[in-house]
Structure 1
Amino acid sequence: MSEQILPGYWLRVGSGYERSMLMKFIQLAYRELFPQQEDFSHLAQTVNQYLSKETPLWWVDNEPVEVPGNSSIGRQPVGCIWLGNAIDQVRGDRHAHIFLLYVMPEHRRRGIGSQLMRHAEDWAIVRGDRQIGLQVFQSNQPALALYHQLGYQTQSLWMVKPLSP
């Protein structure tokens, strides 16, 4: 079953059977951000390790899905959001964490990303979370702009240093 979130777009719950579609979306996201890199097969480990009934996945389709229990057959979603759990390292509270938010380029700037973020926030509130977090690449300026517009603030910086053997 799906619900309309914007004119022409419907949100539906994903399932563990859609791992390959989730992998496709993750790889699309990373290829956009890192076009010089060719192999993103290592991302399958993230999906295999974290996709479960405790880490909900929602898809956005551009036509409604009405076939109960068979929602992904023949579908090509235009967006998704995948959520998980994290622990606040200051207070120790569990909170929602956004693993992936992705909207196909030809469907961007129509409010889909904002609607997915609101859906994630509503899910986290119902669950009793006091905050929701995400990680975004510094080079992803459109995503940073969206998150700032929605009230997200930088809490910490993840820093890396390449090491030579």
Structure 2
Amino acid sequence: MPNFDFPVDGYSIRRGSTVDKALLVKFIQRTYQELFSNQDFSHLARTVEQYFSTDTPLWWVYETQGTGNSEEITQSPVTSPQSPIPTACLWAGNAIDQVTGDRHAHIFLLYVVPSHRRRGIAKALMQHIENWAKQRGDRQIGLQVFTSNTPALNLYQNLGYQTQSLWMIKFIR
């Protein structure tokens, strides 16, 4: 797997592959567990199963200094027990702008392990996806963020993201 330049000291980035499916499931489940504790998120494996492919790229961030992180999620199926555990991931795909009909990049998941937050990793990953999208000829990037996820909202707003639509729900009994 090729490594790409990553602008955060002490970290590197590499492109994931479809063999990383189990590790991606763990990362996406952890994201939801942090936001909505005491729920079972095993169903998220179906989301990964349905949408993860060679057309939906995945990038992993690894710590290059030190011996790894203290908050291990799981061992990747393609790494040995001596291999480092990723400290962050970015999973992207495609969406269609419902107004213009144009294809654009869509961020499915951006997750940084808590002990590695506030170091510029998420911001660097957002710059990475922006560069990737520009190379593809995309004119916009979309994402969905929970209104309760204030740190993510602040990051995205500081990077120039704007609310385009609101996803509304009503619970019925």
Task: Note whether the superposition's TM-score is higher than 0.5.
Answer: yes
Aligned to 1:114: 123
Alignment of 1:145 with 2:147, yes or no, is: no
1:72 and 1:153 map into 2 onto residues whose CA distance is 38
**Match of 1:18?**
20
Q: Distance in 2 between matches of 1:92 and 1:156?
A: 16
Confirm or deny that 1:47 pairs with 2:56: no
| Structure-1 separation of matches of 2:4 and 2:167 | 36
Match of 2:36 in 1: 34
Corresponding residue for residue 96 of structure 1: 105
Displacement of 1:46: 0.7
Q: Provide the TM-score with structure 2 as the length reference.
A: 0.88
CA distance in 1 between counterparts of 2:121 and 2:63 reads 11
Q: Normalized against structure 1, the TM-score is what?
A: 0.92
For residues 83 and 33 of structure 1, the distance between their equivalents in structure 2, rounded to whole angstroms, comes to: 20
Which whole-Å CA distance do the structure 1 matches of 2:3 and 2:128 have between them? 13
Give the structure 2 partner of residue 68 of structure 1.
none
Show structure 1 runs of 5+ residues with no match: 65-70
Following TM superposition, by how much is the alpha carbon of 1:159 offset from its aligned partner in structure 2, in angstroms?
Answer: 0.2
For residue 153 of structure 2, what is the amino acid of its counterpart?
L
Cα displacement (A) at 1:42: 0.7
- Alignment RMSD (CA, Å): 1.6
Find runs of 4+ consecutive structure 1 residues off by over 4 angstroms.
none
Match of 1:57 in 2: 58
Query: Matched residues, percent identical?
Result: 61
* Matches of 2:134 and 2:43, distance apart in 1: 32
Q: Distance in 1 between matches of 2:146 and 2:167?
A: 10
Give the number of equivalent residue pairs.
158
- Aligned mates of 2:60, 2:146 — CA distance in 1: 22
CA distance in 2 between partners of 1:122 and 1:112 (Å): 15
Separation in structure 2 between the aligned mates of residue 31 and residue 122 of structure 1, nearest angstrom: 30
The residue type paired with residue 93 of structure 2 is G
